[in-house]
């Protein structure tokens, strides 16, 4: 694996939130685990694959977090690029009280990674909210079934209004930056196959193509978006692709995904 040197350290996303992921230049794949820190406690969201455990753990340490401070591992669906390193983190954290947080429909698959007695379902957490302490940061869990798996959900940090969206809003791209800012021409573009600015890669086209391939159908995608668009969001942090942290960009991408045709099986039938 060849890691882009620009991203060989943790990067602050918002207050107490750090990107601790990696960018593999050979596969053009960015994977984005996120570390949420509150006081002397931390939670890791979608920790990554087994082969990239060392890269993610190094960034956790560089962020100033001792592994024993990690009290929760959140997995928003069950794919190995999110869950593969789960057992590594459990062993490294060496915290008997650590919570592995997932959704019931994902649990049958997650149970292949760990012993079931460590798993906590979002349905069993009061009000679908994880609280670091009595007056601390709150992470809210919102179900987005079939976007892209039956047990998919997203996680909302109420303090910073950051939404961790897993595969939703994700993309693959040969040219990538962690933070994406669209131009005025993007908002009025009628053909994402030919960029008016002559850019080699169109980030909007990459996002749309990713959702066509990864989401099962437009009905599931639109259901998830109908929930997300009502939320007061200042930052969208997907598990692949780039972070959106401007309101205009977030609204524009939601609109484009809402009107997207040929999603999943719809594009075949």
Structural domain includes residue 129: no
**Model pLDDT, residue 116:** 57
Domain of residue 32, residue span: 5-124+137-267
**Model pLDDT, residue 51:** 87
Structural domain includes residue 234: yes
Structural domain includes residue 71: yes
Number of domains in the chain: 1
Structural domain includes residue 109: yes
Contact 170, 240 (CB under 8 A): yes
Structural domain includes residue 26: yes
Structural domain includes residue 78: yes
The overall pTM is greater than 0.85: yes
Residue 10, domain CATH: 3.60.15.10
Helix crossing, 86-93 with 53-62: angle to 10°? 40
**Model pLDDT, residue 1:** 45
Structural domain includes residue 130: no
Question: What are the residues whose beta carbons fall under 8 Å from the beta carbon of 250, sequence distance 6 or more?
Answer: 233, 236, 244
Structural domain includes residue 131: no
pLDDT in tens, 105-122: 888 888 777 765 666 777
Name residues of the chain where pLDDT drops below 50.
1-3
């Amino acid at each position: 694996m060849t890691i882009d040197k620009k991203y060989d350290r943790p990067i602050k996303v918002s207050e107490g939130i750090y990107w601790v992921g990696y960018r593999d230049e050979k596969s053009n794949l960015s994977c984005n685990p996120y570390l949420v820190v509150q006081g002397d406690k931390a939670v890791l969201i979608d920790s990554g694959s087994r082969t990239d455990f060392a890269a993610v753990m190094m960034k956790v340490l560089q962020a100033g977090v001792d592994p024993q401070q990690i009290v929760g591992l959140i997995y928003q669906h069950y794919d190995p690029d999110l869950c593969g390193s789960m057992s590594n983190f459990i062993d490294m954290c060496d915290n008997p009280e650590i919570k592995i947080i997932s959704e019931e429909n994902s649990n049958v698959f997650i149970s292949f990674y760990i012993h079931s007695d460590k798993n906590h379902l979002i349905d069993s957490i009061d009000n679908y909210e994880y609280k670091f302490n009595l007056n601390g940061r709150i992470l809210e869990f919102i179900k987005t079934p079939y976007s892209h798996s039956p047990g998919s959900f997203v996680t909302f940090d109420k303090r910073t209004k950051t939404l961790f969206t897993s595969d939703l809003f994700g993309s693959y791209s040969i040219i990538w930056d962690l933070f994406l800012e669209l131009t005025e021409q993007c908002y009025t573009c009628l053909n994402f196959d030919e960029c008016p600015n002559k850019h080699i890669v169109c980030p909007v086209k990459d996002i749309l193509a990713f959702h066509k391939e990864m989401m099962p159908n437009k009905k599931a995608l639109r259901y998830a978006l109908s929930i997300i668009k009502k939320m007061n969001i200042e930052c969208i942090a997907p598990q692949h692709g780039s972070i959106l942290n401007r309101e205009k960009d977030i609204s524009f991408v939601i609109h484009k995904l809402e009107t997207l045709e040929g999603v999943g099986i719809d594009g075949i039938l």
